[in-house]
Amino acid sequence: MAELPAAPAEGDYLVCSEPPDAGELAALAGAGWRVAGEGNTPTLRRDGVTVRYLHAWTGGRTLTPAEGHAVFDWLEAGLVHAARDEHACPIGAPATTGRDLWLRTIPAGVEYPVPADDAQRWLRATGGQARVELIDGGGELPAGAVEYDARHAYLACLRELPVGRPERCATFDEPYWPGRYLVAWRAPAGWPYPFGLLRDGRGLRDLGPAERYYPPAGEGWVDAVELALAVRHGWAVEVDHGWRWPTRAHPFDRWHDALGRLATAPGNVEDDTRAAVVRAITLGTIGAMWGSPRKHTGYGPADSIPEGAEGVRSIARGTYRWRYVTPALWPDTHHPEWVGTVWARARVRLLDAPTAERGVRAGALHVEPGAVIAMRTDALYLDARHEPSWADDGRDGRYRLAGYVTPGPWPTSAAELLHRREPPR
């Protein structure tokens, strides 16, 4: 980690070096810095100085200071061009910038009221985000594995989102209309895949074998688009009841177009870095609009531990680490009904997605049953002996080759899988 200046001038600084790890954050806290967050997004404050890290914007890519300046020169001018608003600019973090851009793209006179508090609590309690799953295959991968990911997966899932307060319904008779249903399910006899289609919703939280999360039989709240996929594949489904939204809208159309203008705005920035910034804004914005309270890690002396902090632990002489929760900001942008729908559609696309070739589908349901090694939000890892040839025309949501996993034993953890990952040749 590059050392921070002993006494920099007051102001905000964006650092291009790798963010400090937990031990380095503790050392900085011992030197008088107030520390919040970790991973790619720590924030350091002391004597009127705020330090953030460029990694939050670039998906972990380390840039030189000159490259970092070029990124923000492009971003500042590109946001004005994207929003068609001279006041648009980067604000703090990708998620904040993305929400500000979204608000600037809403047409005059159009409003999208946030759901009532009770509806928001229900949506967050019965929904979730990613599908991260390692298949327990055992044995060897003599040819290694290939990674395919969906380009800007969330941007491909933003059309026709639910609007209004959901209405209770007794049956599942409109599979292509946004809704959420309490169901019990069972896979058809002879289901050939080592994974299921619907997530068990009875409160499992710890990582474990795939069948605990997506079992051949289970019960819970599922999104209409996921339920429709299961029904199409012959799963037996018993609906207790559901909630269906009365209308649909396109609240992200202009935002989607603005991000496209940003990605192509003039600037001396590599295409991979542009894509990483747009991805960071997209993922951060969608995640922030879920509206759940934010969990933080703090470091510092005992007198800086906030009231209500949890997991307080001494990590060095006079320095402590703790966890704390703050309410989500920008409540006028909290739309868990949209975010839950987008996440569900993205999970479906892990299994069944369109390609550039008419009539040809991509996803885990369109390869040999034993070919799937793992799924990770918007990426599939497949035994290289069964590598598909999915056509890619560059559109959002298309699967494209993203990397390789070296030959060897079948991975037993996500960390091992990622450690063995190599970029495309």
Res 299: pLDDT: 86
- In sequence order, the 6+-apart residues with CB closer than 8 A to the CB of 41 are 19, 52, 53, 55, 56, 93
The β-bridge partners of 314 are 320
Distance of alpha carbon 69 from alpha carbon 275, whole angstroms: 17
pLDDT on residue 63 = 92
**Residue 188 three-state SS:** coil
Tell me how far apart the alpha carbons of residues 318 and 257 are, in angstroms, rounded to a whole number: 51
Of 38, 107, 137, 87, which Cα lies nearest the Cα of 385? Answer: 137
Mean pLDDT by 10 residues, the chain (425 residues): 57 88 86 84 89 91 92 96 96 94 96 95 91 89 96 95 94 92 97 94 46 81 96 97 96 97 96 95 96 88 88 87 90 97 96 95 95 94 94 95 95 91 89
Predicted pLDDT at 203? 42
Cα separation of 213 and 200, whole Å? 6
Phi, then psi, of 95 in degrees rounded to 5:
-65, -40
User: How many CB atoms neighbour CB 393 within 10 A?
Assistant: 8
Burial of 124: CB neighbours in 10 Å, binned 0-12, 13-18, 19+: middle
CA separation for the pair 278, 260 (Å, rounded): 9
Residues in the chain: 425
The number of beta carbons lying within 10 Å of the beta carbon of residue 255 is: 24
For 270-282, the DSSP string reads -HHHHHHHHHHHH
| pLDDT, position 5 | 52
Run of H or E residues at 124 = helix 117-126
Tokens representing residue 146 in the block = 């290939």
Q: Rounded to whole angstroms, how far apart are CA atoms 425 and 419? A: 17
φ/ψ (deg, to 5) at 272: -65, -40
Residue 94 identity:
P
